[in-house]
Amino acid sequence: MKQTAVITLTTGKQIRIEFYPEDAPKTVENFVTLAKKGFYNGLSFHRVVPDFVVQGGCPKGDGTGGPGYQIKAEFNKQKHVRGSVAMARSSSPDSAGSQFYITYGATPHLDNNYTVFGKVVSGMEEVDRIKQGDRMTTVTIEEA
């Protein structure tokens, strides 16, 4: 079964993400579980670094929050290219929880250091328009 995340922004526009369950199974499972619980609904993109990343998924809105647990890193063959979706973390490799980022372009220095678990398949132009503080109205999971 193929799963796709749909992030709906406050503008009504959508970002669609396809997952890499074969490369990051536990990370995909974690994101899907959080999305199905409504964890991401209403959260902001608290970090926007032009030409680098847009980051969201922090319940505190400042980059210090998470779901109350951490998951193990699943570094894999997927590279950080335009539209890559990966888990944010602290300096500890196994410290990701709920925060994720989307890359604006290739960021090879992040390869094999962060878990890439998906890619934007539509709505990248909406990612390009995100400003710090913009919110995700909902994050839903479609199954096909």
Whether 1 shows a pLDDT value over 90: the answer reads no
Distance of CA 50 to the CA centre of its chain: 17
Q: State how far the Cα of 96 lies from the Cα of 72, in Å rounded to an integer.
A: 7
- Give every CB contact of residue 120 below 8 A, 6+ residues apart in sequence: 15, 16, 17, 83, 84, 85, 102, 127
Q: State how far the Cα of 16 lies from the Cα of 119, in Å rounded to an integer.
A: 8
- Please give the residue range of the domain that contains residue 102: 3-143
In terms of Cα–Cα distance, which of 87, 82, 144, 89 is closest to 119?
82
Q: Pairing state of beta strands 3-9 and 47-49? A: unpaired
| Mean pLDDT score, 106-111 | 98
Average pLDDT, the chain: 98
| Mean pLDDT score, 24-39 | 98
Q: How confident is the model at residue 74 (pLDDT cuts 50, 70, 90)?
A: very high
What stretch of H or E contains 33? helix 25-36
| CATH code where residue 74 lies | 2.40.100.10
Q: Which tens digit of pLDDT belongs to each residue from 79-98?
A: 999 999 999 999 999 999 99
Whether 144 shows a pLDDT value over 90: the answer reads no
Q: Count how many domains the chain has.
A: 1
What stretch of H or E contains 120? strand 116-122
Q: Which tens digit of pLDDT belongs to each residue from 3-12?
A: 999 999 999 9
| Mean pLDDT score, 103-119 | 98
Q: State how far the Cα of 15 lies from the Cα of 77, in Å rounded to an integer.
A: 24
